[in-house]
Chains A and B, each alone.
Chain A
């Protein structure tokens, strides 16, 4: 590969769009070429500056509320093919009671967590988790080795998240990811538990907040557990059971054994 070819392919390389063969060819060329090294470093520097200096605008709570209300309206609107009598029977069949119970349970569950962190963050962690599991971006760095995941995350953040692997207990580390939480980049540790994916968001605890025991909530079918410890705040989000989630988050918050 010559310099001209390498310069053309460098952006696609740094965006992760090249196949392994092309990537290897680029890496080999860059090693021996000062100009292409400068070019590659500049691309990387711009990317890391964008990540650290440019705000990601998360949807404000009012917008979330508006969308949910619009969805509720759409659900309530009778569809043309459904006769009104049928609709009433559907309501009386306990669906209304069911949805009221769901809202109530959600309220009780999140009230516990509200007290410590606030539902906006809970909603954000769930949105992050759902986005990652729905899309194809589950991990940015795939590794069960905490000595690979930790430096990868540390080099992209202004803090270094403690990383532990619990393979021996059936909770193997699958990798790490960068997300946004509360408008800031946040480290996400990805664990597997049987068929479930567990995301754990980690960020430094604010203002020396003392260790707290985990609180849990349920939102849109996902369980969320929160704890503070080891100098960090931890949020676990998963469709795995609340017990598993709570025990994982408390172990992480206790710090390495």
Chain B
């Protein structure tokens, strides 16, 4: 049995169990199912190519790092305004705040979809990714730091900021006011 074949077999054990996590991350970063599929396919091809570089350890963090890179490459090509050159910290601070949406824009949103999901989709990508990795994948801070390639302190500050933005998002308050009005 060749090395190549052994590599592929192990690859299967590492990547297939993480496919949902990979797709969920890509889906939230690209905000589109079709593009998320493309990005995950691209990530799988890269992971397969560079699998030799994986030296064991946390398979999930390793594969999600590859997926995130593929997402960022996609964003660079398709939505360069969402990510900044360099480390991106400046763009995150200057990114449009979902709290800046006008009441009309809020009403225009599809009322059937979850207001909270809309608010998360509206977060700057740097906040969105740490929130998704924490709340859905329940990665420990140290793994989030590895996947996103930032210090643990930055993981904590971005999470705090993401949660604060969600808590005061007008999307949530709009729904709350609407349902309160209906009860009256």
Residues of A participating in the B interface, judged by any CB pair closer than 8 Å:
11-12, 15, 17, 42-43, 46-47, 49-51, 53-60, 62-64, 66-68, 70-71, 74-75, 77, 79, 81-82, 90, 124, 127, 130-131, 134-135, 137, 180, 220
Contact = CB atoms under 8 A, between A and B. Distances in A.
Given A67-B19, A131-B18, A79 B2 contact: yes
A82 B2 contact: yes
Contacts of B15: 67
Nearest to A77: B4
B183 to A, nearest CB: 19
Contact of A54 (B4, B5, B8, B117): B117
Interface stretch (B21-29, B70-78, B81-89, B95-103): B21-29
A11 B24 CA distance: 23
Given A17-B141, A70-B44, A135-B60, 4 more contacts: A11-B163, A43-B163, A66-B41, A71-B48
A57 B33 contact: yes
Interface of B: 1-5, 8-9, 11-13, 15-24, 27-28, 33, 36-37, 40-41, 44-45, 48, 58-60, 114-117, 120, 134-136, 138, 140-141, 156, 159-160, 163, 166-167
Contacts, number: 118
Nearest to A67: B44
Contacts of B60: 131, 134-135
Where chain A touches its partner, the secondary structure class is helix
Contacts of A55: 114, 117
Q: 8 closest A-B pairs (Cβ-Cβ)?
A: A79-B4, A59-B23, A130-B17, A57-B27, A53-B114, A59-B19, A54-B117, A58-B20
Contacts of B41: 63, 66-67, 70
Nearest to A133: B17
Nearest to B51: A74
A54 B16 contact: no
Contact of A57 (B2, B36, B59): B36
Contacts of A79: 2-5
Given A70-B45, A71-B11, A131 B37 contact: no
Contact of A90 (B1, B12, B115): B1
